[in-house]
Amino acid sequence: MQKKPQNEILEKIVSLAKRRGFVFQSSEIYGGLNGCWDYGPLGVELLKNIKEEWWKAMTFREDVEGLDASILMHPRVWEASGHVDSFTDPMIDCKSCKARFRLDVLGELINEKKKHKAVEELKLKFTDNPGWKDKFETVIQNAEKINGAVDEFSAAIEDSELNAILLSEVNCPQCGNKNTFTPARQFNLMFKTFIGPVEDSGAVVYLRPETAQGIFVNFLNVQSSARQKLPFGIAQIGKAFRNEINTKNFLFRTREFEQMEMQYFVNPVKDKEWYDYWKSERLNWFISLGMTKNKLRYHDHPVNKLAHYAKEATDIEYHFPFGWGEIEGIHNRTNFDLSRHEEFSGKSLKYFDEELKEKYIPYIIETSAGASRSFMAFLIDAYYEEEVNNEMRSVLKFHPKLAPIKAAILPLVNKDGMPEIARSIEKELRKRFKVFYDDKGAIGRRYRRMDEAGTPFSITVDTQTLSDQTVTIRERDSMNQIRISIDKISAYLNDIIFSD
């Protein structure tokens, strides 16, 4: 992969996104906010259409119910889910070789002698800093309580004050240099905030790092109120927040993003069957909306790399200009989540299976798509530069269902009553479609403007319209035109856009 073309493509997309009103940088007039983006007039339509198609595909069926859970949830939810523990690993970097280490595993990379020596160095400093001695003893006691074994180094290195001395005494496991570590930094990937005006620890809540937990905790509410039997699913679209260490690649890694998740509850013995079903179903969804087939692939997670909750996992990846990137994950989450919520809430989340006459905690097959990532993939995938009559044409070949604007209405020239007819067509079409009226400049220029916005149809009122009430409809990708009578436009568009 060469660097330059990649840059060019992504930068072209970013520039087009801004120029045409798909995506703007957040708080741009203040210099921007790292990794945050706003959706402009065309962007919000595209995003909304993606979500709408997803919603139809996932919930317009008997066995899936919708849900919109609150972003703020009880803090215990995130203890049960494992996010509180696993989102808070302190990290350090070696300034010399740029290696990064999790503080809690650094001890494993250093030999015992060195660790012992570092601890002794620390103890020597106690005379100057009496407070450290108390701290040290407390840390050791806590470590003893938790796992019995006392590795003084590993216990002390978790303390934000004591570890500074330890880190200055040990060499980097990778490059061997001494005194090259940055101070330990806490990477808490959950955004923390407070309920109510008092900012004390009892009031801490988190912005959800995934929408899934809102589904899990509502499992029985939805199941009983909708009178569902297993297998069935719960679908939800919503924002999630992760305080990522660094953002990257335009919309790909951002701190605020939107998920389209569906959690499917199944009998544990049927998990494989349903996992395979959703795996294929979800890939086909992207293809059905026009995404290039050979730019999509599965990336199956090897068993040893699976997340703590997963039994089987695959990513649907899109080939972005910067490489393959995940746009959706399909996971077999087993009964991990519901079991944990049972444990932490003390409420039973078991399901009574009428057929089998037994009670069990369902397994969950998760399909978790990134709305923002899908947006970016659909946008990039639709972008083409073509040569037409020795001129460059840039065009967004969105599937008509996703196109922000469905049709443009254009009077060929601004006279002879053409604008009036065009306006009346516009008024009629607006009842059903997002349309756009444009009478500025030459007709060719207007077509090209619509190409760049991804509008699939351009309806032109011309001289012939005046005598026989027909218009031309120009199709974006082929640039072919057909002639159709005015009263048939609406049905024609509807058939093409919403047919399967």
Partner RNA sequence: GCGGGAAUAGCUCAGCUGGUAGAGCGCAACCUUGCCAAGGUUGAUGUCGCGGGUUCGAGUCCCGUUUCCCGCUCCA
**Which residue in 498, 497, 428 sits closest to 461, CA to CA?**
428
Residue type, 89: D
Shorter beta-carbon distance to RNA: residue 244 or 353: 244
246 near RNA, rule: CB under 7 A: yes
Q: Work out how close the CB of 422 gets to RNA at its nearest, in angstroms, rounded to a whole number.
A: 11
189 near RNA, rule: CB under 7 A: yes
Question: Residue 16 corresponds to which tokens in the numbers above?
Answer: 């087009």
Shorter beta-carbon distance to RNA: residue 44 or 443: 443
452 near RNA, rule: CB under 7 A: yes
484 near RNA, rule: CB under 7 A: no
Among positions 5, 34, 109, 384, the unique one binding RNA when judged by CB under 7 A: 34
Residue 210 phi, psi dihedral angles, 5° rounding: -160, 150
Shorter beta-carbon distance to RNA: residue 305 or 357: 305
Q: Work out how close the CB of 110 gets to RNA at its nearest, in angstroms, rounded to a whole number.
A: 17
Residue type, 21: G
Q: Work out how close the CB of 198 gets to RNA at its nearest, in angstroms, rounded to a whole number.
A: 28
Q: Work out how close the CB of 252 gets to RNA at its nearest, in angstroms, rounded to a whole number.
A: 8
33 near RNA, rule: CB under 7 A: yes
Stretch that binds RNA, among 79-87, 192-200, 222-230, 342-350 (CB under 7 A): 79-87
454 near RNA, rule: CB under 7 A: no
DSSP-derived secondary structure letter, 112? H
The C-alpha angle 394, 400, 401, rounded to 5 degrees, equals 135
Q: Work out how close the CB of 323 gets to RNA at its nearest, in angstroms, rounded to a whole number.
A: 7
Query: How many residues touch RNA (CB under 7 A)?
Result: 77
Among positions 56, 61, 76, 100, the unique one binding RNA when judged by CB under 7 A: 100
- CA 313, distance to chain mean position in Å, is 17
Among positions 38, 52, 86, 179, the unique one binding RNA when judged by CB under 7 A: 86
Residue type, 320: F
Q: Work out how close the CB of 272 gets to RNA at its nearest, in angstroms, rounded to a whole number.
A: 22
Strand partners, 90: 186
Alpha helices per DSSP H over 336-417: 336-345, 371-382
Shorter beta-carbon distance to RNA: residue 139 or 453: 453
187 near RNA, rule: CB under 7 A: yes
Residue 292 phi, psi dihedral angles, 5° rounding: -60, 125
Among positions 5, 11, 229, 482, the unique one binding RNA when judged by CB under 7 A: 11
Shorter beta-carbon distance to RNA: residue 193 or 464: 464
The C-alpha angle 380, 382, 385, rounded to 5 degrees, equals 90
Q: Work out how close the CB of 273 gets to RNA at its nearest, in angstroms, rounded to a whole number.
A: 25
Burial of 359 (0-12, 13-18, 19+ CB in 10 A): exposed
Shorter beta-carbon distance to RNA: residue 32 or 268: 32
206 near RNA, rule: CB under 7 A: no
- CA 413, distance to chain mean position in Å, is 45
Among positions 178, 248, 430, 432, the unique one binding RNA when judged by CB under 7 A: 248
- Residues within window 209-238 making contact with RNA, judged by CB under 7 A: 209-210
What is the C-alpha separation between 200 and 303, in angstroms, rounded?
Answer: 41
Among positions 460, 489, 493, 497, the unique one binding RNA when judged by CB under 7 A: 460
Secondary element (H or E) of residue 333: strand 323-334
304 near RNA, rule: CB under 7 A: no
Residue 457 phi, psi dihedral angles, 5° rounding: -130, 135
192 near RNA, rule: CB under 7 A: no
Sign of CA dihedral 278, 279, 280, 286: positive
73 near RNA, rule: CB under 7 A: no
Q: Work out how close the CB of 90 gets to RNA at its nearest, in angstroms, rounded to a whole number.
A: 12
298: left (phi over 0), alpha (psi -120 to 50) or beta: beta
Residue type, 247: T
Among positions 5, 36, 138, 150, the unique one binding RNA when judged by CB under 7 A: 36
Q: Work out how close the CB of 341 gets to RNA at its nearest, in angstroms, rounded to a whole number.
A: 14
299 near RNA, rule: CB under 7 A: no
What is the C-alpha separation between 167 and 338, in angstroms, rounded?
Answer: 40
198 near RNA, rule: CB under 7 A: no
447 near RNA, rule: CB under 7 A: yes
What is the C-alpha separation between 32 and 27, in angstroms, rounded?
Answer: 5
87 near RNA, rule: CB under 7 A: yes
Site mask, RNA, residues 308-327, x = CB under 7 A? x------------xxx----
Shorter beta-carbon distance to RNA: residue 51 or 448: 448
For helices 41-59 and 271-288, what crossing angle results, to 10°?
A: 140
71 near RNA, rule: CB under 7 A: no
Sign of CA dihedral 207, 208, 214, 216: negative
User: Rounded to the nearest 10 degrees, how much is the dihedral formed by the CA atoms of 467, 462, 455, 14?
Assistant: -170
Residue 81's contacts (CB-CB under 8 Å, 6 or more residues apart) are: 213, 337, 340
Strand partners, 134: none
Among positions 76, 430, 440, 488, the unique one binding RNA when judged by CB under 7 A: 440
What is the C-alpha separation between 257 and 405, in angstroms, rounded?
Answer: 24
390 near RNA, rule: CB under 7 A: yes
Among positions 140, 413, 486, 496, the unique one binding RNA when judged by CB under 7 A: 413
